[in-house]
Structure 1
Amino acid sequence: MKIVMMGTGPFAVPTFEALVASEHEVACLFSQPVRSVHRRKSSIPTPMRDVANAHGIAIHDPASVNTEEAKDLLTDLRPDLLVVCDYGQILKDYILATATYGGINLHGSILPKYRGAAPVNWAILSGDEETGITVIHMTPKLDGGPCLKVVRTPIGPTETTVELEPRLADLGVPAVLESIEMLQNHGPDGTPGQVQDQSSATKAPRLAKSDADIDWNDSAELIYNKFRAFQPWPGCFTHLQQHEKPPLRIILKEIRLLREPPLPGVSPGSVSVVAEDRLYFAAKDGQIIIDTIQPAGKKPMQVADFVHGHHPKVGDRLLSESKLSTAE
């Protein structure tokens, strides 16, 4: 098949590399335009572009793929199939129609659960014990097409997004290749795949910084899942309020879950234990042990260094950003 690859982020790299190494012809790569990191002159990493450049594959990066110009370009290329993964744009029906077999998409969840931009994050946040990948035959409805291939895998109890996403990306490689073969066997007018149960669909919207603001009235397990889910970005944070000091914004870098309740009299949202090499923060029904912490404007540090420099005490309050104004 003559394939046009559409992808931007690292989740798409294993599939792209496998297609380049296969018997299929990869005509070009469509990727998001390069954007600079906020307040920095450097640009964000572009792993898909690196693969394309290494193999001499042409790159197209329209701000929107759903334009007449992009449509004309794809029409001239006359692809058999569009392979989409971690692209960051939703394809309209007239773009899908430029390819003989339309498009397939590799998605990081077991659809119809977690449709949207951040399926891995939301699966971990929800405390799911299992996730997987789905290859769908695309329709204009977001992640709503029939499922060609589903592969399941357990989520480890301490596994973070940083650890889970690469595993899922690798699981997707054979699934994409098998899905392409399935389409070939059915022909361009075939309708392979399992129709999704639309009533079971859930959403996985793009993350915002505010999602990682810790509410210490939540359960300790939910706080721990939030920490696991929001790595490496936006990174969970809170504010330490000490007596006669302004609130200090701190980012949680390494934490552990302790299901034991805090000592009597220590309310959720307070420092419950101060030790030489760790801090315990009280939640609704358990505690969070902090091993590595990053105060605002500083580099990450071991808790021992933080304790020595900031002298936290049992009972010091922890505030979410939304509660700062009411505490002042």
Structure 2
Amino acid sequence: MKIVMMGTGPFAVPTFEALIASEHEVACLFTQPVRSVHRRKSSIPTPMRDVANAHGIAIHDPVSVNTQESRQLLADLQPDLLVVCDYGQILKDFILATATYGGINLHGSILPKYRGAAPVNWAILSGDEETGITVIHMTPKLDGGPCLKVVRTPIGPTETTVELEPRLADLGVSAVLESIEMLLKHGPEGTPGKVQDQSLATKAPRLAKSDADVNWNEPAELIYNKFRAYQPWPGCFTHLEHQGKPPLRIILKEIRLLREPAPEGISPGSVSQVAEDRLYFAAKDGQIVVDSLQPAGKKPMQVADFVHGHHPQVGDRLLSESQLSPQE
């Protein structure tokens, strides 16, 4: 098959490398344009660009793939199949129609659960014990096409997005190659795959920076799941109010879940225990054990160093952004 790869992030890299090493022809890569990092002038190439450059594969990076210019470019290439993964754009029907077999998409969930941009994050956030990958035969509806291959895997009780996502990406390699064989077996007019039950569909929208602000009135397990899900971005932070000083913003770097309730008299959103090398923060029905953190303007540090320098006390308050007064 003559394949056009469409991908941007690291989740697509194992599949891209496997296609290059296969008997199929990878005609080119479509990827997102390189954008500057925040307000800095420097830009970071995507990992997919690195792979394409290493193998001499042409790169196209339209701001929107759904233009007549892109349509003409694809029509001139005459691909048999579009392979899409972690691309960041939704393909319209006239773009899918440029390939003989249309397109397939490698998605990081067991569809129809968690359609959208952040399926791995939302599986962890929801406390799921299992997730997986799905290869779908694409339609213009977001993640709504028939499922060609599904591979399942357990989620570890402490596993973060940083740890789970690469595992899922590797699981997708054989699934994509097998899906291509399914399409070849059925031919361009075939309709392989299992139609999704639309009534079971759930959404996995992009995360926001505001998600990182911890609400200590939530259950401890939910806070812990958010911490796991929000790695590496947007992370989790809170503000520690101590000894009448302005609240100190701290980013939680390493934490654990303690299902045991805080000591009597300690309300959610308070320091519940102080040990030499760890802090305990009270949540709704449990505690979060903090092993390392990062105070505003400082480097990450072990709690032992923080305790030595800041002397937090049991009962110190933990505040969210909404609880800060304007001057703070």
TM range (shorter): over 0.9
- Quote the offset at 1:243 in angstroms: 3.1
3-state SS in 2 of match to 1:44: coil
Q: Please tell me whether residue 258 in structure 1 is matched to residue 283 in structure 2.
A: no
Q: TM-score, normalization: structure 1?
A: 0.98
1:39 is matched with 39
Q: TM-score, normalization: structure 2?
A: 0.98
* Counterpart Cα distance in 2 of 1:273 and 1:43: 44
* Counterpart Cα distance in 1 of 2:255 and 2:39: 29
How large is the Cα RMSD of the aligned pairs?
1.1
1:178 is matched with 178
Change (3 A) 1:168 1:82: same
Quick one: which amino acid aligns to residue 163 of structure 1? E
- 1:212-231 equivalence runs, <5 A: 212-231=212-231
* Counterpart Cα distance in 1 of 2:153 and 2:105: 19
% identical equivalent positions: 88
Q: Please tell me whether residue 60 in structure 1 is matched to residue 63 in structure 2.
A: no
- Quote the offset at 1:326 in angstroms: 8.6
Quick one: which amino acid aligns to residue 176 of structure 1? V
Aligned residue-pair number = 328
- Quote the offset at 1:45 in angstroms: 4.4
- Quote the offset at 1:307 in angstroms: 1.1
3-state SS in 2 of match to 1:179: helix
1:85 is matched with 85
* Counterpart Cα distance in 2 of 1:140 and 1:320: 40
Moved over 3 A (4+): 325-328
1:9 is matched with 9
Q: Please tell me whether residue 234 in structure 1 is matched to residue 234 in structure 2.
A: yes
Change (3 A) 1:278 1:327: farther
* Counterpart Cα distance in 2 of 1:271 and 1:100: 61
42-51 or 135-144, which moves further after superposition?
42-51
1:25 is matched with 25
1:69 is matched with 69
- Quote the offset at 1:64 in angstroms: 0.3
3-state SS in 1 of match to 2:255: strand
Quick one: which amino acid aligns to residue 146 of structure 2? P
1:207 is matched with 207
3-state SS in 2 of match to 1:135: strand
* Counterpart Cα distance in 2 of 1:134 and 1:223: 28
Change (3 A) 1:132 1:327: farther
* Counterpart Cα distance in 2 of 1:282 and 1:244: 20
3-state SS in 2 of match to 1:203: coil
Quick one: which amino acid aligns to residue 234 of structure 1? P
1:121 is matched with 121
Change (3 A) 1:45 1:314: farther
- Quote the offset at 1:327 in angstroms: 11
Quick one: which amino acid aligns to residue 277 of structure 2? D
1:280 is matched with 280
Quick one: which amino acid aligns to residue 217 of structure 1? N
Which ranges of structure 1 fall in alignment gaps of 5 or more residues? none
* Counterpart Cα distance in 2 of 1:45 and 1:158: 31
Q: Please tell me whether residue 154 in structure 1 is matched to residue 154 in structure 2.
A: yes
3-state SS in 2 of match to 1:288: strand
CA deviation string 1:262-288 (max 9, x = no partner)? 110000000011111110000111110
3-state SS in 1 of match to 2:135: strand
1:112 is matched with 112
CA deviation string 1:79-126 (max 9, x = no partner)? 000000000000000000000000000000000000000000000000
- Quote the offset at 1:41 in angstroms: 3.1
3-state SS in 1 of match to 2:256: strand
2:304 is matched with 304
3-state SS in 2 of match to 1:115: coil
- Quote the offset at 1:192 in angstroms: 0.5
Quick one: which amino acid aligns to residue 198 of structure 1? Q
Quick one: which amino acid aligns to residue 264 of structure 1? E
